Structure 1
Amino acid sequence: MNNHLSFEEGWKVLEQGIVKCSKILECTSTRPTVNEYMNYYDCAYRMAVQKQHYCPEMYNGFKMMLAECVRTMVLPHLMHKQNDSFFRELVKMWSNYCIMIRCVIGFFSYLDRCYVKQYKLPSLSNTAATSFFDPVFSYFNDEARTALLTMVEESMEMETKRLAYYLEISSGDSYPLCLQAVNAPLMETYVSYVTEKQIGGQLMLETYKIVEEELLGRCSSLTLG
Structure 2
Amino acid sequence: VWPSLREKHDEFMLRELVERWGNYKFMVGTFYRVSHSLDLYFIARRSLPHLTEVGLTCFRELVYQESKVKVRDAVISLIDQEREGKQIDRALVKNVLDLFMEICMEQMDYYKNDFEAALLKDSAAYYSRKASKWILEDSCPDYMLKAEEYLQREEDRVSHYLPPSSEPMLLEKVQHELLSVYASQLLEKEHSGCHALLRDDRVEDLSRMFRLFSKIPNGLDPITNIFEQHVTAEHTAFVKQVEDAADSK
With structure 1 as the length reference, what TM-score do the two structures score?
A: 0.51
SS, match of residue 48 in structure 1: coil
In structure 2, how many angstroms separate the alpha carbons of the residues matched to 1:127 and 1:157? 31
Q: Is the contact made by 2:104 and 2:110 (CA closer than 8 Å) also made in structure 1?
A: yes
Higher RCO, 1 vs 2 (CA within 8 Å, ≥6 residues apart): 1
**Alpha-carbon spacing, 1:22–1:73, altered in 2? closer, same or farther (3 Å):** farther
User: What do the CA deviations read for 1:93-126 (whole angstroms, capped 9, x no partner)?
Assistant: 32333333434xx24x3xx5xxxxxxxxxx4111
Aligned to 1:116: none
Runs of 4+ in 1 over 6 A off after TM superposition: none
In structure 2, how many angstroms separate the alpha carbons of the residues matched to 1:90 and 1:141? 12
Structure 2 residue aligned with 1:127, among 161, 169, 186? 169
Aligned to 1:202: 216
- Aligned partner letter, 1:139: V
Structure 2 residue aligned with 1:10, among 65, 68, 73? 68
**Alpha-carbon spacing, 1:40–1:152, altered in 2? closer, same or farther (3 Å):** farther
Structure 2 runs not aligned, ≥5 long:
1-55, 228-249
Within 5 Å, give how 1:1-225 maps onto structure 2: 1=56, 2-4=58-60, 5-7=63-65, 9-27=67-85, 29-34=86-91, 36-49=92-105, 54-58=110-114, 59-103=116-160, 106-107=161-162, 109=163, 123-146=165-188, 147-148=193-194, 150-155=196-201, 202=216, 204=219
**Alpha-carbon spacing, 1:155–1:91, altered in 2? closer, same or farther (3 Å):** farther
Structure 1 residue 130: Cα displacement: 0.9
- Aligned partner letter, 2:143: F
- Aligned partner letter, 1:131: K
- Aligned partner letter, 2:129: T
In structure 1, how many angstroms separate the alpha carbons of the residues matched to 2:111 and 2:77? 20
**Alpha-carbon spacing, 1:154–1:82, altered in 2? closer, same or farther (3 Å):** same
Structure 1 residue 16: Cα displacement: 1.8
Q: Is the contact made by 1:48 and 1:54 (CA closer than 8 Å) also made in structure 2?
A: yes
Structure 1 residue 3: Cα displacement: 1.5
How many residues were matched structurally?
151
**Alpha-carbon spacing, 1:74–1:31, altered in 2? closer, same or farther (3 Å):** farther
**Alpha-carbon spacing, 1:3–1:70, altered in 2? closer, same or farther (3 Å):** same
Question: Percentage identity across aligned positions?
Answer: 8
Q: Is the contact made by 2:155 and 2:167 (CA closer than 8 Å) also made in structure 1?
A: no
Q: Is the contact made by 1:25 and 1:74 (CA closer than 8 Å) also made in structure 2?
A: no
Larger gyration radius, structure 1 or structure 2: 2
